[in-house]
Amino acid sequence: MRTTDVARHDEAKCLWPARATLGEGPFWMAAEGALYWLDIPGRKVHRLELGGGAQATWDTPLRIASLAPRRSGGFIAGTEQGLAFYEPRTGRLERMLDPEPQRPHNRCNDGKVDAEGRFWVGTMDDDEKAPTGALYRFDAQGHLARIDEGYTVTNGPAFSPDGRTLYVNDSPRRVTYAFDLAPDGTASRRREFLRFEEAHGFPDGMTVDAEGGLWIAFYAGGCVRRFSPTGDWLAEYRLPVSKTTSVAFGGERLDRLFVTTGRVGLGAAEVEAQPLAGGLFELDPGVRGVAPVPYAG
């Protein structure tokens, strides 16, 4: 990781002090003008309308760690029991497949949709100790492919604006990997793109902007950092909480950056010092994001 003149910012705004145990998985629904996000252990889906500020929350039947809209309606979800189709308003959850029935201590974690409408999802050891996690690609025809393995906590993923690079985090190892990504979904030439020190925190959820910048939330780091496509550390945005978990661009112009956070593992004194922990925050990134694509199935 190359350090240039890192721009420091400290202007995060809390939009929703939801006190989520572990906020995660934000994504923008342009058709609704709303941002969705999750509380994994709290078993909740949250929705915030940006125009009027209306809030809604639905309980989930399983722990859902990732959620993305489907072209055919509803959502695809990565859950503690594998992949499912889900509709939060009705609570209907249709389980599809468990990618790892032989690994009962694993669960799905972060998931994103690429430009071709394929859902990429990682798995992880639920105790966050064993390197039993893997990265999968799930296409519109229902075909599941294991892309990579040996992860303890698979996080990310993110795709460059031109669709040619895939980024994936293994959070406990403090490593961001990059892959070459072909139009047919083949990922190759895995390499270490970024490696972080203990003082930086753990690289967690991430996204890209229209200029190719990679935005990573740092769990136990209390910040979001932006990196160039060549690995230069460009900017750091501090938040008044330590457990920053994931990021997503949204708004009509895709020029607002939303950050989920959590309070899991915080002691009483830390919770008192971080009253907004578990809230949804907004940053002014100064760049636009890439329009999200629904799952094609």
- Residues designated as active site: 204
List residues bridging with 75 in a β-sheet: 69, 86
Single out the residue of 21, 8, 29, 4 nearest to residue 295, CA to CA.
29
Residues 6 or more apart whose Cβ sits within 8 Å of residue 45 = 36, 37, 38, 57, 58, 60, 64, 67, 88
Annotated ligand binding at 2? The verdict is no
Q: Cα-atom radius of gyration of the chain, to the nearest Å?
A: 17
Annotated ligand binding at 24? The verdict is yes
Annotated ligand binding at 288? The verdict is no
Q: Which residues are annotated as a binding site for substrate?
A: 107, 109, 127
